[in-house]
Structure 1
Amino acid sequence: MSFRIGQGVDFHQLAEGRELWLGGVKIEHSKGAVGHSDADVLLHAICDAMLGAACLGDIGTHFPDTDSQYKNIDSKILLKQTVNLIGKEGYSLVNIDSTLCLEKPKIKSYVPQMQEAIATICGLTTRDVSIKATTTERMGFVGREEGLVAYASVLLQRI
């Protein structure tokens, strides 16, 4: 099989006094995501999508939150390690399509920076990294600004 599709999703709570990292970029906001690492939901969803497409389990299998070496780790490192893992399996990334679900902050102005960060790590062009955002119309935990969600789909090709 020469092509594989994967999907990933990640959720994190938001809290005051934390930095907000999305797509490898620090976003100015009064709240940040809570997690063992830097809690970058977008990069985590992309990692899970790649790992799933290559049938390598999930992010928790490779980078468990019970392992102190991943405490506060920059998720760009996890993304690079995931790219290396799929490469060892004989795959390369073709493209990424992703969606962030959050009420605030508005991220449109940050998207080009996120695309550049992700593309650089993954060996892609920015035209191969789609990042969209939506709200939940103030419904649920995302709407109450208690958390955020990221979804990602990837296409892998056998190299």
Structure 2
Amino acid sequence: AFRFQDILAAHDKARGNEMTDDSMIAENAGLAVALVTGSEDNIKITTPEDMNRVAQLLGGRPAISRVGFGFDVHEFCAGDHVMLCGVRIAHEKALEGHSDADAGLHALTDALLGAIGDGDIGAHFPPGDPQWRDGDSADFLKHAGKLIADRNGAIANVDVTLICESPKIGPHRDAMRQRIAEILSIDVSAVSVKATTTEGLGFTGRREGIAAQAVASVMLPPN
């Protein structure tokens, strides 16, 4: 507890600084702050993750952890770029598909849908439906994220592996992570994008197309 005039003046002094609670603001203004031992269950709510913890405490049961897996393949066709994990990459070929053929986002969308047991990308966005022709795969991924939010769930982390000889993924990795984090409204630290080859074997080794696989971890409230 603080005297109103003292803490008000402290707030005025701290204006423009990034501080998360009154104790930091008071110390910044030179006010004495005493620490009182309390219950760990009486937590301070500062971030959205704190709210999730409160919900678990009030519910009396831990959240349920679910894991989903997704896999997708697209073959090369004539073109001058590919879309991978929401990033446009210049390339001597394009990827064939009903939408923008983003194998990375398609695999990740399926992983999220799998984690909540809600079908696959083809069930939500049928390839025979003309409205999805040349569609932005970011919309598919955003839809999967919304379905999780509608269940009061949260995405813990996602991990995408792109399998191809070309294009090189390394120069675009950070942009891909940022784009996925933006689409799903999660922290970039919860997003991993990796790349590998099949050492010249199979259709990816023959540079006939690109494959992608993804794993997603989702936290859901107890039933």
TM range (shorter): over 0.9
Equivalent residues of 1:100, 1:133 under 8 A apart = yes
Structure 1 pair 89–13 and aligned structure 2 pair: CA distance change class (3 A): same
Residue matched to 1:138? 200
Structure 2 residues not aligned, in runs of 5+:
1-62
Aligned length: 159
Alignment partner for residue 110 of structure 1, among 172, 186, 211?
A: 172
Q: Within 5 A, what are the aligned runs for 1:70-149?
A: 70-149=132-211
Residue matched to 2:216? 154
Shift of 1:102: 0.3
Shift of 1:23: 0.5
Identity of paired residues, percent? 43
Shift of 1:90: 2.9
The one-character-per-residue Cα deviations of 1:20-54 (angstroms, maximum 9, x if unpaired) are: 00000001110111100000000000000000010
Residue matched to 2:112? 50
Shift of 1:18: 5.4
Equivalent residues of 1:18, 1:33 under 8 A apart = no
Moved over 6 A (4+): none
Paired letter, 1:87: A
Shift of 1:124: 1.4
Higher strand residue share: 1
Q: C-alpha separation between the residues in 2 aligned to 1:90 and 1:47? A: 18
Normalising by structure 1, report the TM-score. 0.96
Q: C-alpha separation between the residues in 1 aligned to 2:68 and 2:177? A: 19
| 2:96 is aligned with 1:23 | no
Q: C-alpha separation between the residues in 2 aligned to 1:17 and 1:141? A: 19
Bigger Rg, structure 1 or 2: 2
Question: CA RMSD of the aligned region, Å?
Answer: 1.1
Structure 1 pair 149–11 and aligned structure 2 pair: CA distance change class (3 A): same
Structure 1 pair 18–57 and aligned structure 2 pair: CA distance change class (3 A): farther
Equivalent residues of 2:80, 2:90 under 8 A apart = no
Q: C-alpha separation between the residues in 1 aligned to 2:93 and 2:79? A: 6
Shift of 1:89: 2.6
Q: Which has the higher contact order (CA 8 A, sep 6+)?
A: 1
